[in-house]
Amino acid sequence: MVLKIVVWSILAFLLMPLVIIVLFSFHASPSLSFPFAGFSLRWYAEVLGNAQLGSALVKSLTVAGFTALITLILGAAASLAWLRLGPRGRAVLEVLCLTPIALPGLFVGVSLLVLFAQTRIQLSTVTIVISHVVLALPILIVAMRARLALFDPSLEEASRDLGASQMQTFGKVTLPLIAPTLIASAILAFAVSFDEFVVTSFVAGTETTLPMYIWSMMRRTVTPLINAISTLALVFSIAILFIAWLIGHLRRRSAVAGRTVS
Amino acid sequence: MKAPNIRMGGLLAAPAVLYMVMFFVVPSLILFVYSFWTAASYRIMPDFVFSNYLNSLMSPLFWTVTINAILIGLVTASITLVLAIPVGYYLVYVSRSQVILYLILITWFSSYLVRIYAWRTLLGTSGVLNTILIQAGIVDTPVGVFLFSRFAVAITLIHIYLPFCILLVVSSLSEIKKDLVDAARDLGASPLGAFFRVIAPNAANGLVGAFMLTFVMVAGDYVTPQMLGGSSGQTTGLLIADQFRKTGNWPLGAAQAFLMFLVSIVIYLSVIGLGRATGLIVKRRPSKRAGV
């Protein structure tokens, strides 16, 4: 009982700032403190009328889309490799692909910056995507690894024994089994890229993504306009999470469910 | 069957491995090489000098901000872990509540900048916390020290990294069977006793891992101190970022990044050493995960 109270207080601590942000995004006055002066949608109207914001959003969606796609392709191949490799191969793959998670974004950001400077690659949308994949691929692989540990390689062997070619086995057995998890993980990669700020600030050059636009506003002032943008970003993140959950959930109900894991 | 399988595996792993070598390993190596170069008036010249390291180590400013970063890191990571453990314990042993899990994931995936901004509006002199305190009659004038202080930095960092830490704790506690905890409780251990004598020693590696990952993230976070720390909250991360963005002395920034890396390793070894000395960390028994 005591534990339950502790847990819910900690959750309240986590959620309270977000609730306050959402609440004040509807504030009728530009102040960000109580007493609450009434509800209004004026800040959302302002968001819609802001062209710079719109182009930053489009930039972020483009970057996140390409990041998710590249991460999906690299991650899908790596996941299939993971199933086939011995312990040593897996260790190499894991060290390479997991270390970036254990490093601050600052380190990854400045090292990519020196790489681009040294190879004289112009900072652009392309360099942002390249950098985001470095951050998203490890997350995709962590998410996949937990699922792949449950993958039964004998299903592939059975398919081969029954005369299917390697390609047929891949298309009809392996891919359908791992696809839902892959897609859910790619959506997470999208979310990571969409929110990324630290690394982006080093490799973006003159480009402006949504988090960079929010940052430039945040540094200048505190206004419910930022709350409105934040609320929309929050709703977007929750929607992404929900879609990933839905796909994962459908997967569980699909034909694979026959296997018991214990 | 086995041999072509492994070759196929290598072939499939190649794109991801190549990508990470090109855009993670090589850049880190270039950064390391840079740390021995010299910079003069915004031009960077190949060289082999140790002056970037030596100058940093001799600079009082570097030590001030590094000690600040370590202190903020240790305090924040400790509080974060202490808060993460009850939630992790609850999720693993009491109730696999999907609601709680998704509430945690929502905060984890809510924007990093939005959360920094949220605390800024909460802690400001005309912010929510101050207005509540004034209206409740606890203080007469707004408390200015909430914002732009180590306190503001710490509470925001805890808020940002707690969901991540909870997930790490959940994964490390999941390895310990509930039967073990039940047995301890049956033998008369209190919940806290069961935690310290059964769970903590078994999950020590995972918990130390969670602590260290949180420490590295927190100590390396420079955006939060920049936004909420004022002059007292400057950290090594901010110093390094400024070498790359403002001062233009990349080699110095590179050397400081590697010094920060070294500091993290020293802290990691100290935590392990401390754990062994106090008996909280026992060497991993090899049989434990053999069946997986």
Q: Which tens digit of pLDDT belongs to each residue from A23-53? A: 888 887 777 776 677 788 888 888 888 888 8
CA distance B276 to chain A (A): 23
CA distance B251 to B253: 5
Question: B229 lies in a domain?
Answer: yes
Lowest mean pLDDT among A77-81, A241-245, B170-174: A241-245
Q: What number of CA atoms fall less than 13 Å from residue A193's CA on the CB side?
A: 35
Lowest mean pLDDT among A14-23, A52-61, A248-257: A248-257
pLDDT at B213 over 80: yes
* Sequence-ordered list of residues with C-beta below 8 angstroms from that of B269, at least 6 positions apart, any chain: none
The count of domains in chain A is 1
For residue B32, the model assigns a pLDDT of 93
* Sequence-ordered list of residues with C-beta below 8 angstroms from that of B181, at least 6 positions apart, any chain: B93, B194, B198, B199
Test A96 with B20 for CB contact under 8 angstroms.
Answer: yes
For residue B292, the model assigns a pLDDT of 35
Backbone angles phi, psi at A27, to 5 degrees: -70, 135
For residue A130, the model assigns a pLDDT of 95
Question: B95 lies in a domain?
Answer: yes
- pLDDT class of A261 with cuts at 50, 70, 90: very low
CA distance A234 to B111: 7
Report yes or no: B83 and B160 within 8 Å, Cβ to Cβ: no
Question: A56 lies in a domain?
Answer: no
Whole-structure pTM value: 0.86
Q: Which of B15, B118, B217 sits opposite A77 (nearest CB)?
A: B15
Contacts of A149 in chain B (CB under 8 A): 292
For residue A171, the enclosing domain spans 61-254
CA distance B119 to A177: 43
For residue B84, the enclosing domain spans 58-278
* Sequence-ordered list of residues with C-beta below 8 angstroms from that of A37, at least 6 positions apart, any chain: A27, A28, A29, A31
B8's tokens: 């196929």
What CATH number has the domain bearing residue A194?
A: 1.10.3720.10
Q: How far apart are the first and last CA of chain A?
A: 30
B227's tokens: 């936004």
pLDDT digits (tens, 9 = 90+) for A183-215: 888 888 998 899 899 999 999 988 899 999 999
Q: What number of CA atoms fall less than 13 Å from residue A19's CA on the CB side?
A: 8
Question: A259 lies in a domain?
Answer: no
CA distance B236 to B61: 9
DSSP A259: S
pLDDT at B159 over 90: yes
What CATH number has the domain bearing residue B236?
A: 1.10.3720.10
For residue A15, the model assigns a pLDDT of 92
In chain A, alpha helices (H)? 2-25, 42-48, 51-84, 87-98, 105-118, 125-148, 154-161, 166-169, 175-195, 198-203, 210-220, 224-253
CA distance A134 to chain B (A): 7
Contacts of A100 in chain B (CB under 8 A): 20, 24
For residue A253, the model assigns a pLDDT of 57
pLDDT at B165 over 50: yes
Angle, nearest 10°, between helix axes B200-220 and B150-173?
A: 140
The count of domains in chain B is 1
Torsion (CA) B44, B49, B52, B54 in degrees, nearest 10: -170
Q: Which of B27, B100, B131 sits opposite A111 (nearest CB)?
A: B27
Question: B119 lies in a domain?
Answer: yes
Report yes or no: A139 and A67 within 8 Å, Cβ to Cβ: no
Mean pLDDT of chain A: 84
Q: Which of A86, A110, A233 sits opposite B111 (nearest CB)?
A: A233
Report yes or no: A71 and A137 within 8 Å, Cβ to Cβ: yes
Report yes or no: A17 and B127 within 8 Å, Cβ to Cβ: no
Residue in A3, A110, A112 to test binding to B, most B beta-carbons within 10 Å = A110
Question: B289 lies in a domain?
Answer: no
Q: Which of B117, B159, B221 sits opposite A226 (nearest CB)?
A: B117
Test B191 with A3 for CB contact under 8 angstroms.
Answer: yes
Test B94 with A3 for CB contact under 8 angstroms.
Answer: yes
CA distance A207 to B153: 29
Report yes or no: B176 and B183 within 8 Å, Cβ to Cβ: no
Mean pLDDT of chain B: 83
Contacts of A101 in chain B (CB under 8 A): 213
Question: B190 lies in a domain?
Answer: yes
Question: A51 lies in a domain?
Answer: no
Contacts of A113 in chain B (CB under 8 A): 244
For residue A221, the model assigns a pLDDT of 78
* ipTM value for the complex: 0.86
Contacts of A7 in chain B (CB under 8 A): 86-87, 90, 100
Angle A14-B147-B108 from CA coordinates, rounded to 5°: 25
Contacts of B5 in chain A (CB under 8 A): 84
For residue B123, the model assigns a pLDDT of 83
CA nearest to B174, candidates B285, B93, B117, B242? B93
Whether residue B185 lies within 8 A of chain A, CB to CB, comes out as no
Answer with the residue of higher pLDDT: A133 or A261. A133
CA distance A227 to A241: 21
CA distance A52 to A213: 8
Torsion (CA) A24, A30, A35, A38 in degrees, nearest 10: -70
pLDDT at A17 over 80: yes
Region B244-273: mean pLDDT is 88
Question: A12 lies in a domain?
Answer: no
